């Protein structure tokens, strides 16, 4: 079982989804089976997490021919970096189901399962063509969810996000083929395995830059990084809650993951040479999106800008060229997924119950929903990096990393974190705490299953904030390997 556990984790949700398409029309049955499937996957990932040896590198590897004549393999494996994100996905998805329990259709749950299959496959793929296959698989169900179950101008929103992501994916695919052809010309055989592509030496400097940018375009759109962000605001505003959760908490993180997994080892010299530019772009995005969030009245749009701001900070950490920044960025991937995912789900409850999602139309919710308000506050404080939460640890590590990279940029990054606290606390005071002008809104507190669903998230906020080494120890050896053996710059800059 251990040899095939990764394949089982990838394909179980897809097999169940296709089975549900043809066997039952009962929404409750589909939902319950989908939830059971995600809990089985969680149990398998927990087993994987316990058996994983952090210092042993890539583990549970499967590498068999897929399209053998062109050297394309079904090549999957897990290391400390991908395992940490895999655990995050395995915990967040089934617990999110409990907050999405009512009022969904059969297609909604089937698409959720298909996204999980695509996301997990992308995370574990070590052949770039296999990665591309799963990358595309995870996008289609989200497009369907937005187009079918979204709000407002959902058709235009679907077209816009499709055009953006497909353009980036096309550039990435062309770059993958170019690398494969180059490998064949240099070595006389075909291979698209990422560790084989790192052996290419015949590329010119200009070729490396263009290939690097082609890959980066797909990942930067998904994150998103300024200026490739213009699709995200209307998408988060008009998409259904489940799709927003998947986009913000899980799929955006795969963009960051892919930079570390593929760009750094395949183009290490380009990554190092242009790191200053990308740290600056990341910090610019942190400020730009933060200021834009301050100007929003729609809560979902505000959280969209907030999410982009945090992801820009993560990108800055990834390009900081030292263990502080990269470890902090990987940790913030998890912390941000928990806090932002919970906040989007809670805002979804507000919209479902009141029909409103603009700050000016809300208010007075705290008096009617103390449990909701408490959990909302915890996630908000984690999002702004309050000491004792996972957000504080991750942001502090990134600040240290950027400071080590460049002292001036380090000071700037520390000051810009204040922006996030400003718009979050301002929104919380107006939408939740402050009494509403006119007639009070009717709003319920969280149901038992919603509390059960959010409980692991709350526990992780504080557990990761108080005992970070429990989690960092799993992926730190991978970061050290990248810095020492791939970039040859050591654990510090």
Contact at 8 Å (CB) between 326 and 320?
A: yes
- The pLDDT of residue 357 is 66
Residue 490's pLDDT is 45
Any residues with CB less than 8 A from the CB of 384 and at least 6 apart, and which?
Answer: 391, 417, 420, 421, 424, 425
The count of domains in the chain is: 1
Would you call 442 exposed, middle or buried from its count of C-beta atoms within 10 A (0-12, 13-18, 19+)?
A: exposed
Q: Are 195 and 486 in contact (CB under 8 A)?
A: no
Gyration radius of the chain over CA positions: 22
pLDDT in the model for residue 180: 92
Residue range 79-91: average pLDDT?
89
Domain that holds residue 375: 274-493
Q: Is the pLDDT of residue 259 over 80?
A: yes
Tell whether 197 is covered by a domain.
no
Please tell me whether residue 105 adopts helix, strand or coil conformation: coil
Q: How confident is the model at residue 134 (pLDDT cuts 50, 70, 90)?
A: very high
What integer pLDDT is reported at residue 68 of this predicted model? 87
Residue 121 lies in a domain: no
Q: What's the average model confidence in pLDDT over 191-214?
A: 90
Q: Residue 327 is encoded by which pair of tokens?
A: 């470890």
Average pLDDT, the chain: 85
pLDDT, tens only, 14-37: 999 999 888 877 888 888 899 999
Beta-bridge partners for 127: 193
Query: Closest Cα to residue 196, out of 289, 244, 253, 128?
Result: 128
Average pLDDT over residues 91-104: 84
CA 352 to the chain's CA centroid = 25
- Mean pLDDT of the region 261-276: 88
Which residues, 6+ apart, have CB-to-CB distance to 482 below 8 Å? 260, 264, 265, 326
- Whether the per-residue pLDDT at 337 is higher than 70: the answer is yes
pLDDT at residue number 437: 64
Residue 296 lies in a domain: yes
406 is a domain residue: yes
H/E run at residue 303:
helix 299-318
Confidence band (pLDDT; 50, 70, 90) for 124? very high
* C-alpha separations of 75 from 64, 72, 486 in Å: 6, 9, 21
Give the whole-angstrom CA distance, residue 100 versus residue 355: 16
Q: In this structure, are residues 427 and 299 in contact, taking their beta carbons and an 8 Å threshold?
A: yes
Stretch 230-246: mean pLDDT: 79
State percent of the chain over pLDDT 70.
Answer: 96
pLDDT digits (tens, 9 = 90+) for 421-477: 777 888 888 777 777 665 656 777 788 888 888 899 999 999 999 988 888 888 888
Gap between the Cα atoms of 118 and 484, Å rounded: 32
Domain-located, residue 373:
yes
User: Which of 390, 261, 417, 271 is closest to 333 using CA atoms?
Assistant: 390
What percent of the chain is predicted at pLDDT more than 90?
21
Taking residues 149-157, report their average pLDDT: 77
Give CA–CA dist 459/277, Å, rounded.
37
Q: How far apart are CA 487 and CA 493, in angstroms?
A: 10
Contact 52/83 with Cβ under 8 angstroms? yes
Quote the pLDDT of residue 168: 86
Asked whether the predicted pLDDT for residue 491 surpasses 60, the reply is: no
pLDDT over 90 at 117, yes or no:
yes
Predicted pLDDT of residue 489? 56
Write phi, then psi, for 125 (nearest 5 degrees): -70, 135
How far is residue 282's CA from residue 381's CA, in Å, rounded to a whole number?
22
Segment among 184-193, 295-304, 457-466, 478-487 with least mean pLDDT: 478-487
The pLDDT assigned to 492 comes to 42
DSSP code for 440: P
In a domain, residue 106? The reply is: no
Instruction: Encode pLDDT of 280-331 as tens digits.
Output: 988 998 888 888 888 888 888 888 888 888 888 898 998 888 888 888 998 8
State phi, psi for 281 to the nearest 5 degrees. Answer: -60, -40
Identify which of 383-387, 454-458, 478-482 has the greatest average pLDDT. 454-458
């Amino acid at each position: 079982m251990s040899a095939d556990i990764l394949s089982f984790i990838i394909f179980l949700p897809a097999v169940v989804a296709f089975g549900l398409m043809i066997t039952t029309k009962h929404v409750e049955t589909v939902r319950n089976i989908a939830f059971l499937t995600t809990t089985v996957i969680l149990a398998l990932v927990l087993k994987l997490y316990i058996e994983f040896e952090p210092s042993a590198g890539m583990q549970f590897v499967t590498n068999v021919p897929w399209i053998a004549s062109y050297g394309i393999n079904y090549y999957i494996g897990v290391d400390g970096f991908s395992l940490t994100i895999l655990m995050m996905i395995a915990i967040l998805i089934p617990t999110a189901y409990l907050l999405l329990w009512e009022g969904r259709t059969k297609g909604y749950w089937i698409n959720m399962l298909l996204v999980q299959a695509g996301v997990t496959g992308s995370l574990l793929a070590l052949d770039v063509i296999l990665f591309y296959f799963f990358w595309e698989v995870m996008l289609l169900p989200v497009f369907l969810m937005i187009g079918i179950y979204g709000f407002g101008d959902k058709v235009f929103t679907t077209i816009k996000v499709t055009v953006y992501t497909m353009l980036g994916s096309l550039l990435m695919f062309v770059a993958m083929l170019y690398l494969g052809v180059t490998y064949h010309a240099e070595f006389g055989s075909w291979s698209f395995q990422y560790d084989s592509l790192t052996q290419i030496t015949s590329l010119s400097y200009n070729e490396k830059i263009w290939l690097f940018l082609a890959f980066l375009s797909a990942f930067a759109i998904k994150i998103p990084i300024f200026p490739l962000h213009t699709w995200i605001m209307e998408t988060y505003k008009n998409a259904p809650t489940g799709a927003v959760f998947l986009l913000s908490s899980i799929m955006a993180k795969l963009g960051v993951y892919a930079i570390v997994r593929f760009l750094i080892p395949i183009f290490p010299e380009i990554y190092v040479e242009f790191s200053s530019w990308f740290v600056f772009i990341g910090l610019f995005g942190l400020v730009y999106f933060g200021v834009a969030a301050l100007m929003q009245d729609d809560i979902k749009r505000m959280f969209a800008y907030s999410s982009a701001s945090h992801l820009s900070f993560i990108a800055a950490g990834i390009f900081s060229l030292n263990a502080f920044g990269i470890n902090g960025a990987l940790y913030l991937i998890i912390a941000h997924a928990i806090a932002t995912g919970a906040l989007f789900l809670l805002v979804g409850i507000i919209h479902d119950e009141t029909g409103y999602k603009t700050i000016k139309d809300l208010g007075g919710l705290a008096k009617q929903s103390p449990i909701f308000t408490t959990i909302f506050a915890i996630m908000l404080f984690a999002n702004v990096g309050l000491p004792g939460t996972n957000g504080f640890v991750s942001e502090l590590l990134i600040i240290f990393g950027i400071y080590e990279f460049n002292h001036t940029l380090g000071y700037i990054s520390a000051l810009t974190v204040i922006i996030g606290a400003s718009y979050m606390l301002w929104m919380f005071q107006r939408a939740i705490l402050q009494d509403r002008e006119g007639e009070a809104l009717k709003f319920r507190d969280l149901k038992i299953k919603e509390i059960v669903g959010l409980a692991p998230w709350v526990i992780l906020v504080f557990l990761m904030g108080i005992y970070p080494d429990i989690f960092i120890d799993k992926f730190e050896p991978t970061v050290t390997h990248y810095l020492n053996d791939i970039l040859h710059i050591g654990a510090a800059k």
